[in-house]
Amino acid sequence: MVVGDFPIEVDTLVIGAGPGGYVAAIRAAQLGQKVTVVEKATLGGVCLNVGCIPSKALITAGHRFETAKHSEDMGIKAENVTVDFSKVQEFKNGVVKKLTGGVAGLLKGNKVDVVTGEAYFVDSNTVRVMDENSAQTYKFNNAIIATGSRPIEIPGFKFSKRVLDSTGALALQEVPKKMVVIGAGYIGTELGTAYANFGTEVTFIEAGDEILAGFEKQMSAIVKRNLKKKGNVEIYTKAMAKGVEETENGVHVTFEAGGETKTIEADYVLVTVGRRPNTDEMGLEQVGVKLTERGLIEIDKQCRTSVSNIYAIGDIVAGPPLAHKASYEGKIAAEAISGHPAEIDYLGIPAVVFAEPELASVGYTEAQAKAEGIEVIAAKFPFAANGRALALNESDGFLKLVARKEDGVLIGGQIAGANASDMIAEIGLAIEAGMTAEDVAMTIHAHPTLGEITMEAAEVVIGSPIHIVK
C-alpha cells in the first residue's frame, strides 16, 4: 500500500458524492471554500446510479408498454406489442451515464477536487482516505458526512442472485415471469408496478394494514385498486414473510397471511423493507459524533453534529430518505459553515411515489394538523372534473388542500393523480411563501391544464367553487 507522506489541507471535506454530498460540495465551493469530496463508488450515489433515476426510467418504459397495449378507449389498437428488455436497460443506463457525467462536470467546473476511496476519521480534523492501493491523510476545518444508506436485509432472505434488493431488481436482464415483492412501500410499489406493466405476475407481501403506509388511505386505495385491475397482481396485507428456498431457476417464498401459511413460486423475490444508514466503520464514535440507536447521526438545525465542525446530511440523519431532502440539507450545511444563518425547515419538503396514479404530499395532512390542534379547512377537487385530465384519459384521483381556518394560509396538500409529482411543487411554493387559498384561487392558471386542479381546490377552500357543486 502506498501511503501519502504529508496531509492535504482543505477547508471543507465532503464524504459521499450522492445528491446530498455533491450539492453540498458545489454550494460550499460557490461560497469560497476549498472543497474536496470523497466517494468510494460512483459520483451521484445511489440516487443517480441505482435508485431514483434508473427506477424512473424503468417505470416510464413499463408505462409506455402498458399504454401501447391498452389505448382502445382512444380508438388506438396495437397488435403484437413486444419488449426488447436489453434496449430498455440500454435506455436506462444511458440516462444514468448522462447525469453522472453531468455531476462530474459540475464538480470540476466549481473547482471541487474528487477523490476515490473510503474515509475513516482519525480525529475531529483528520480523516484517512483509503482505496485498494493507497492511503492519504486529509486535514479539514469542517467536514460534511453524506454517506447515504443501503437496503435492509431481513432474516431468512439473504441477498443473492434470486433474492434481490432494489439494485438487483434494476439490473435484471430479462422480464421475470413471476416476482414476489416483500414490502409495499414506495420502492416496492414502484418497482413491482414497473415489472407488472412489462407482464410479470407480481405478488406483494406487506406486513402493514395497507400498501404505501406513508400516504393517506384515500390515496393509497386508488393505487391498490389500479394494481388489482391489471389482472397480474396479487396483494397480501397484514402478511409476514417467513423464508425463502432458492432453486436453480427460482425461489419458493413462504409467508403467513390471514392465519394461514402459504408458499409462492417465483423467478425472483425483491426485498424492500427499508434502508439502513451508512454510519458504521467510519470511526464516528472515536471522534465523539453522537448516534441514535438506529445508527442515525444527531444534528441541530444547521445540520451540525455533536462535534461542532462536523456536519451530517441525507439518509444518515432523521427524516425520510429522500434525495431532495439530502440536497436541501447539503445547501444548509454548506451555508452554515460559511457563517450564513441557514436552518432546516422540513414543512415544504414533498414526498412522491411514482405509482399508478402518482401520489404526492407536502406539508400537513388534515389528520396531522388536527393532531397538533390546528383548526383547518380541507377541500378536495377531483381529476374527473378537469378537462385536461379527461383528454389525457387520466381522470382517476383528486387534489386536496389543507388551510388554516383562522386565516386561510395553506399548510398542506396531497395529490393522487396524473403528474402529481410535478403538480406538488406549486403547493410547496405556496406553503413556503405563506400564501392563502385565496392567493392561489386568484392566480390565473392556463386552460386546459392539470394545474387548474390546484386553483379549483383553492376555490373550494374559500367557498366559491365553479366546476363542482358547492
User: Which spans in 171-283 are helix H?
Assistant: 186-197, 217-229
Q: Residues 398, 416: contact at Cβ < 8 Å? A: yes
* CA–CA gap between residue 393 and residue 377 (Å, rounded): 30
For strand 149-151 and strand 8-15, is the pairing parallel, antiparallel, or unpaired?
A: unpaired
Cell of 153: 436485509
Grid cell, residue 12, equals 471543507
Cell of 226: 389500479
Give 240-246's long-range contacts (Cβ < 8 A, gap of 24+): 240/205, 240/207, 241/154, 241/156, 241/157, 241/182, 241/205, 242/156, 243/156, 243/157, 244/156, 244/157, 244/162, 244/163, 244/269, 246/160, 246/161, 246/162, 246/163
* Angle (nearest 5°) at CA 375 between 373 and 380: 125
Other residues' Cβ atoms within 10 Å of the Cβ of residue 270: 27
Beta bridge partners of 178: 201
- Given the residues 70, 252, 445, 447, the one annotated as active site: 447
Instruction: Say how far apart CA 389 and CA 173 lie, in whole Å.
Output: 35
DSSP 347: G
* Residues forming a β-bridge with 38: 15, 115
Contact 275, 185 (CB under 8 A): no
**Residue 63 catalytic?**
no
| Cα-Cα-Cα-Cα dihedral sign, residues 283, 284, 288, 291 | negative
Residue 268's H or E segment, with its range, is strand 268-271
Active site residues: 447
